[in-house]
Amino acid sequence: MSQTSSPGRLRVAIVDDEEPARALLREYLSAHPEVEVVAECANGFEAVRAATELDIDLLLLDVQMPGISGFEVLELLEHDVSVVFVTAHDEHALRAFEVYAVDYLLKPVSAERLAQALSRARERLGRPQPELAAVAAAARAEIAPLRRVLVRDGPQVHVIPVEALDVVEARDDYVRLRSRGREYRKQQTLGELAAQLDPGRFVRVHRSFIVNVERVARIERYAKDSRLVVLKDGGKIPVSRAGYARLRGRL
């Protein structure tokens, strides 16, 4: 968790794509001398950058935003931070609160409810927070299969449509994604990502590889009991026996 400058003090970032909503939260927060607003973000990309570059204790995070959602912002963060979700939709708020959030605020936000949320956030200072990747998966507004994969590279966020994803490879504690001739590193296990991808489009052909069946040119035998997937770009991927059976049913 981020370290605050003094006990009970909160460094807060406001994240909402609507300027009036940010202005209202900023006005309410001005009544709390223990709160320092260190960033205002108009979208999820700005939120990821702020959380990467600044020492933030608490995100006041809108759920529905253009670009990337509040839940997707959590997926991209790599350090502990408390979150109060702000939303106009009850079902999103309840899901968010159940899986992680310090609190949730339904729009239009009142000064009294914000004060309660800040109190809860102060109580959590210094306590261990749930792992953000697991939280993001549980809170995801979009039900699998995924339509896009988000990858964080420092403060930059890459959005990869699943139809542009060629191969996913397991590498230690992360996966390597290949898309349109580029490679990306994502802090996630192959099994976690496999569970979120469309099984009609993506097949786990090996314990270390998932392949987009639309990228498969052919399957070659290179030893008695061994096969390779040859991709349309010429790349070759090993295929296990179980992977071959799964892939054969898709081609």
Instruction: Give the residue, 124 or 122, on which the prediction is more confident.
Output: 122
- What is the domain partition of the chain in residue ranges? 10-139, 148-248
Dist. CA 144–CA 55, nearest whole Å: 33
Closest CA to 15 of 65, 79, 53: 65
- Judging by DSSP bridges, how do beta strands 103-106 and 148-153 pair with one another? unpaired
DSSP 126: T
The DSSP bridge partners found for residue 228 are 220, 238
Instruction: Retrieve residue 3's tokens.
Output: 């370290």
pLDDT in tens, 93-105: 666 566 567 888 8
Dist. CA 251–CA 238, nearest whole Å: 17
* Exposure b/e, 70-109, CB count within 10 A at least 16 = b: bbbbbbbbeeebbbbbbbeeeebbebbeebbbbbbbebeb
The DSSP bridge partners found for residue 62 are 86
pTM as predicted: 0.74
pLDDT in tens, 174-233: 999 999 999 999 988 999 899 889 999 999 999 999 999 999 999 998 877 789 999 999
As assigned by CATH, the class of the 148-248 domain is: mainly beta
* CATH superfamily for domain 10-139: Response regulator (3.40.50.2300)
Q: Assess contact for 100 and 59: CB atoms under 8 A.
A: no
Dist. CA 222–CA 105, nearest whole Å: 59
Dist. CA 219–CA 206, nearest whole Å: 13
pLDDT for the residue numbered 132: 57
Q: Which long-range contacts (CB under 8 A, 24 or more apart) does 91-96 make?
A: 92/63, 92/64, 92/141, 93/63, 95/139, 95/141, 96/63, 96/70, 96/71, 96/139
2-6, 20-24, 80-84, 104-108: range with lowest mean pLDDT? 2-6
